[in-house]
Amino acid sequence: MSANPRRAAALAAILVLLVGACSNGASAVAPSSSVAPSEPVGSAPPPSASAAPSATPKPATATVTLALDWTPNTNHTGFYVAQQSGWYADEAIDLQFIPYASANPETLVGAGQANCGISTEEGASFAIAAGEKEQSVMAILQHTASEIAVLASGPILRPRDMDGKVYAGFGSPQEGPLLTAVIKADGGKGVFTTVTLDTAAYEALYAGKADMAITFSAWEAIEAHERGIALRTFAFPDYGLPDEYAVVLVCNNAWLAANGDVARRFLAATVRGFQLAATDPATASKELIAANPGVFDANPALPVDSANYLAAQKLYVDTAGVVGPQTLATWNGYSGYLYDLGVLAGPDGKPVTTRPDFSTYFTNAYLP
């Protein structure tokens, strides 16, 4: 059926009127009286000094001092990656390393002689309980990385076999109770002899002069394997002990309060460095070695193998694959366990008798 010619003509006329109205900048719908009329089409807005966006000025460069807990190793990789890659410079941070000497990083940080330092959940718990004014601001390693090690060729096949044997230790107050807990969890009595040898503990174990030592799975255990020394190891969580943050970054409380923006910029670059270590261990280990000429000459494979191990075991990241965050559950779990063992001491050197509020021992507030 053909269209009605008069209706078509009327529609055409309406369209012409509408097009003409729009071409003159008028709206086809009358504006509401409560809405201000718009600027005419094609007219420029009035000039304004704020119309053009201004670049955010780069903050002044701030120096951050970081106390190391040992000679450079893969626990420190992210710091060196961020420095070598220019990421601290991008954040206007001048990072200065304080090499490990005799003073613990926790002591230097608490005294304000270093802004931040490398520690462990365990070490930070002892320091803060004893009165050091510092907090953990980042978990560098998200899980336990220490193990009890014995020679694979020796008579110790399981923890209860350690009864009556010799433990080569480092002098920390929690070592004996933790070893005892593992032995008892396996049905033993937890009775053994302790000799304090510090880092010589490993060589004593390898030479058969001691029966067991606590090693770091990402370093000493790898080094022993590279030397052809076969070890049998027992992981603490396998015997009922809580998981812990094996390595954390602690910072001085007063410094954090006065330098919040600096701390955030420092953490932003640091997290970026450890994220690369978590996903690209080959590049990360190259950066670590390049930043520390001569340090790894005696065993150049060790930092590479350790970097690969840490990335493969996902020790740098939490369950969501994120670098840095800490949870109260982990602090309550492991540090609470230390309190329950009675090894946390207060400023007076006596065992803490009131359970600490571990939410004050750490913060995620400065993470990116």
Q: Quote the pLDDT of residue 22.
A: 33
Instruction: Please say if the pLDDT value at position 86 is more than 80.
Output: yes
Residues 224 and 250 in one domain: no
Q: Quote the pLDDT of residue 169.
A: 96
In a domain, 33, yes or no: no
pTM for the whole thing? 0.84
Q: How confident is the model over 210-261, as pLDDT tens digits?
A: 999 999 999 999 999 999 999 999 999 999 999 999 999 999 999 999 999 9
Residues 252 and 354 in one domain: yes
Band of residue 43 on the pLDDT scale cut at 50, 70, 90? very low
Band of residue 336 on the pLDDT scale cut at 50, 70, 90? very high
Residues 353 and 271 in one domain: yes
7 or 216: whose pLDDT is higher?
Answer: 216
Residues 259 and 217 in one domain: no
Instruction: Please say if the pLDDT value at position 18 is more than 50.
Output: no
In a domain, 32, yes or no: no
Q: DSSP characters for 282-345?
A: HHHHHHHHHHSTTTTTT-THHHHHHHHHHHHTT-SB-TTS-BB---HHHIIIIIHHHHHHT--B
Instruction: Please say if the pLDDT value at position 47 is more than 70.
Output: no
In a domain, 198, yes or no: yes
In a domain, 134, yes or no: yes
Using alpha carbons, list the distances in angstroms from residue 286 to 79, 83, 156, 308, 315.
13, 13, 38, 12, 19
What CATH code is carried by the domain that includes residue 173? 3.40.190.10
Amino acid 7 reads R
- The whole domain housing 288 covers 62-142+245-360
Residues 150 and 170 in one domain: yes
In a domain, 302, yes or no: yes
| Rounded mean pLDDT, 157-164 | 98
Residues 250 and 356 in one domain: yes
Residues 223 and 250 in one domain: no
Give the whole-angstrom CA distance, residue 93 versus residue 102.
27
In a domain, 288, yes or no: yes
Residues belonging to the chain: 368
| Rounded mean pLDDT, 268-273 | 98
1 or 343: whose pLDDT is higher?
Answer: 343
Instruction: Please say if the pLDDT value at position 32 is more than 60.
Output: no
Of 204, 219, 239, the residue at which a domain comes to its end is 239
Give the whole-angstrom CA distance, residue 295 versus residue 154.
33
Q: How confident is the model over 279-317, as pLDDT tens digits?
A: 999 999 999 999 999 999 999 999 999 999 999 999 999
Residues 211 and 235 in one domain: yes
Alpha helices in 186-259 (DSSP H): 200-206, 220-226, 253-258
Residue 171 makes CB contacts below 8 A (sequence gap 6+) with 196, 198
Instruction: Please say if the pLDDT value at position 34 is more than 90.
Output: no
Residue 345 makes CB contacts below 8 A (sequence gap 6+) with 126, 129, 130, 173, 351, 352
Long-range contacts from 177-183, C-beta under 8 angstroms, 24+ separation: 177/341, 177/342, 177/343, 178/236, 178/241, 178/341, 179/148, 179/212, 179/214, 181/239, 181/240, 181/241, 181/341, 182/148, 182/234, 182/236, 182/239, 182/241, 183/159
Residues 169 and 136 in one domain: no
Instruction: Please say if the pLDDT value at position 342 is more than 50.
Output: yes
Structural domain total, the chain: 2
Residues 252 and 342 in one domain: yes
Of 209, 239, 269, the residue at which a domain comes to its end is 239
Give the whole-angstrom CA distance, residue 158 versus residue 161.
6
Q: How confident is the model over 165-201, as pLDDT tens digits?
A: 999 999 999 999 999 999 999 999 999 999 999 889 9
Of 239, 268, 302, the residue at which a domain comes to its end is 239
Long-range contacts from 155-159, C-beta under 8 angstroms, 24+ separation: 156/211, 156/212, 156/232, 157/232, 158/186, 158/234, 159/183, 159/185, 159/186, 159/188, 159/234, 159/239
Residues 173 and 227 in one domain: yes
Residues 255 and 198 in one domain: no
Q: Which of 16-20, 92-96, 341-345 has the lowest mean pLDDT?
A: 16-20
Q: Quote the pLDDT of residue 40.
A: 36
In a domain, 114, yes or no: yes
Q: Quote the pLDDT of residue 54.
A: 59
